[in-house]
Amino acid sequence: MYLIIVGAGDIGTPLIEIATSAGNDVVVIERDETRADSIASEHDCLVLNADATTKDTLQDAGADQADAIISTTAQDATNIMISLLAKELEIPSVVAVVHNPEHMGLYEQIGVHTMENPQELIAQYLYRSVARPAIVDYMQIGEEAEVFEITVTKSAPIAGLTIQEAAEQSIVPEDVLVVAIERKSQESPITPRGNVEIKPGDLLTVYSGFGADPELTDLFGHFEDDPQ
């Protein structure tokens, strides 16, 4: 995949690392000369020390052959301008970071895929790790739904039951689904069919239509996470 990444700051730099490590053809546009030189010396990619808000720069970066452009600068105005130019140059996929939620509507009008305020997402993740330590990892979907990972303890009401038995006994709510099971004795994840037994120590990937509230995490044996 041919990717243009704009910005080599706190967001752009790890993105560059991921994209180049995955074997993509990456072009980085960075206005700061020091940052541009650093990226050029550390990563296998083409780096342009230039202003990405000009059409000439995006054309020099190979906009005509790019599969996607990701704008990660710290300014929404800059990301919006780059997105508009990328759309004009018909880059198939345009992605940008949104720092101010009030600007989200404008990005949507342009037709840009967005990542909203990464600093806030990090803060939410850190708070969740303290407030709900049973949740190994999670992703919010929409306003309430979440996908999260949680380990089953020996005292869990669901432990020792098959998925079908847990459903028949109404232990697991209807809008909660176990979508994957990782077991230390198994090299690959287990597909959660009805006859699969949930065992203590299993790491479950769970979808919940109402999020990972305390009553739900109780099902997996994490009673100590209930707020006092």
pLDDT in tens, 83-112: 999 999 999 999 999 888 888 888 888 889
Going from N- to C-terminal start, the domains of the chain cover 2-115, 122-225
Domain made up of 2-115: CATH architecture: 3-Layer(aba) Sandwich (3.40)
Query: What pTM was estimated for this model as a whole?
Result: 0.64
Cβ partners under 8 Å of residue 67, min gap 6: 1, 2, 3, 91, 92, 93
Instruction: Write out the two tokens for 3.
Output: 């990717």
DSSP state of 197: B
- pLDDT classification of 156: cutoffs 50, 70, 90: very high
Same fold, 2-115 and 122-225: no
Instruction: Write out the two tokens for 184.
Output: 């230390």
pLDDT digits over 4-46, tens only? 999 999 889 999 999 999 999 999 999 999 999 999 999 999 9
Q: Is the pLDDT at 66 greater than 50, yes or no?
A: yes
Distance, in Å, from the CA atom of 2 to the CA atom of 66, rounded to the nearest integer, reads 5
Q: Which residue has the tokens 């739900």?
A: 216
187 compared with 28, residue with greater pLDDT: 28
Distance, in Å, from the CA atom of 96 to the CA atom of 181, rounded to the nearest integer, reads 33
Task: Tell the CATH topology of 122-225.
Answer: Alpha-Beta Plaits (3.30.70)
